[in-house]
Amino acid sequence: MATPPGARGTARPATHHPHPATAGNPTVLTGATVVLPTGTVENGQVTIDGTRITAVAPENAQVIDVTGHYVIPGFIDIHNHGGGGASFTSGSVEDILKGIHTHRLHGTTTLVASTVTGDMDFLAQRAGLLSELAEQGEIAGIHFEGPFISPCRKGAHSEALLRDPDPAEVRKLIDAARGRATMVTLATELPGGTDSVRLLAEHGVIAAIGHTDATYEQTVEAIDAGATVATHLFNAMPPLGHRSPGPIAALLEDDRITVELINDGTHLHPAALQLAFHRAGADRVAFITDAMDAAGFGDGRYWLGPLEVEVADGVARLLADGTIAGSTLTLDRAFKRAVTVDGLSVEDAVTALSATPARLLGMDDRIGSLEPGKDADLVLLDADYELKGVMRRGAWVVGPQLH
């Protein structure tokens, strides 16, 4: 498949600038409201030494008073297609790094790069390129969203390039990712779907149910075969019905499933988000962006795989038929909306943005919470939940902006 032309959005000047402090300079953040796994601590402190959080402050540590601010773990996005005008599916290495950095400026310190439906050979080539970035620690892994999805629920994917989830072809993508495949989204009701779920589970890759037209019973079968994630729950699947409950009921009721939610105010009504939280709980919800190139960049026309997208007022839709095409969301906005609009507690929002995705990725020994020994990945927010600083592995990416 030919690589699509680049994005044609209107660039916005960066508003955040890196702080001169770098990893290796011991730092103590004091006076903060700190969100810990055990609860929220007022007038707390977080100590960073090198790239890690530590329990004891070195004598030469720089002390920064962040009174009136929250310190929370860095955000973790397990479903992200790009940002800053750059696509993870079609961009160059330089483009991809630009997209990653755009999301870091908004608090996402760990990111899984998602592809969209394409020709199998093209996707295998992209997997090889992305795996190198994973090996360098720039991304946490690769998520293949498509081509193994339902034409009935294709969303912003090219129908001409869709295919049934033949386990041999699923294995081809896993192999191309060289051990860096994190997740594959499947319409598990298609021929080969259940066998592909078993294959993924055997190889330690997350099988995600999404872009699916499955019944309730077919979804239960896929979960029993090893599926553990619902790709952007509610979106690109049959709606919940009282006689035909479909996949939503099966995915919400099963404690083995982590549900992705896109909390941008476009993809979900607040009542749907509340339903998911009430049924699944924060421990089973992972907020995602499903971001495309326009995230952190601006309105204009873009390409999502081979399909052209128009972004207007921050909402991305296919030019051809108006179908929602990913989002322009960043996770700092998802956090603020969760607390100020959806009425979630700060603790539950932190769980859905950090602890739950870290555990899902099997990385909760390193990231996802503010604990001694873990990576110094954190976000600084003011009392209005506006981002005022981002630290990744002990180095400031943004701020701290305290005045």
CA–CA dist 376, 368 (Å, integer): 10
User: Residue 300, by phi and psi: left (phi above 0), alpha (psi -120 to 50) or beta?
Assistant: left
Residue among 161, 79, 78 at smallest CA distance from 121: 161
| Model pLDDT for residues 50-77, shown as the tens digit of each residue | 999 999 988 889 999 999 999 999 999 9
CA distance to 196, 233, 269, 279, 372, per residue, from 272 (Å): 30, 10, 5, 11, 36
pLDDT recorded at residue 155: 81
Separation of alpha carbons 315 and 138, rounded Å:
27
pLDDT of res. 24: 58
What tokens appear for 181 in the block? 């495949």
Helices (H) and strands (E) in the chain, counts: 10, 22
Catalytic-labelled residue, pool 290, 293, 348, 364? 290
Average pLDDT over residues 251-273: 97
Instruction: Report the C-alpha gap between 165 and 382 in whole angstroms.
Output: 46
* pLDDT at 22 > cutoff 60: no
So what's the pLDDT on residue 17?
A: 38
Q: How far apart are CA 341 and CA 344, in angstroms?
A: 8
pLDDT digits (tens, 9 = 90+) for 368-403: 999 999 999 999 999 999 999 999 999 999 989 887
Q: State the average pLDDT over residues 243-260.
A: 98
More confident residue, 325 or 169: 169
119 labelled catalytic: no
Q: What rounded mean pLDDT belongs to the chain?
A: 92
Exposure letters 224-242 (e unless 16+ CB within 10 A, then b): ebbbbbbbbbbbbbbebee
Q: What angle do CA 350, 30, 77 make, to 5 degrees?
A: 25
pLDDT at 294 over 70: yes
For residue 294, the number of C-alpha atoms closer than 13 Å in the C-beta half-sphere is 25
pLDDT of residue 16: 39
Q: What is the pLDDT of residues 295-313, one digit of tens each?
A: 999 899 988 888 888 999 9
Q: Is the confidence at residue 9, as pLDDT, over 80? A: no
Give the start-end residues of each E strand in 264-350: 285-288, 300-304, 307-312, 315-318
Given a cut of 60, is residue 20 above it in pLDDT? Answer: no
The predicted structure's pLDDT at residue 23: 54
| Cα–Cα distance for residue pair 267/328, rounded to 1 Å | 11
Position 212 scores a pLDDT of 98
- pLDDT beyond 50 at 116: yes
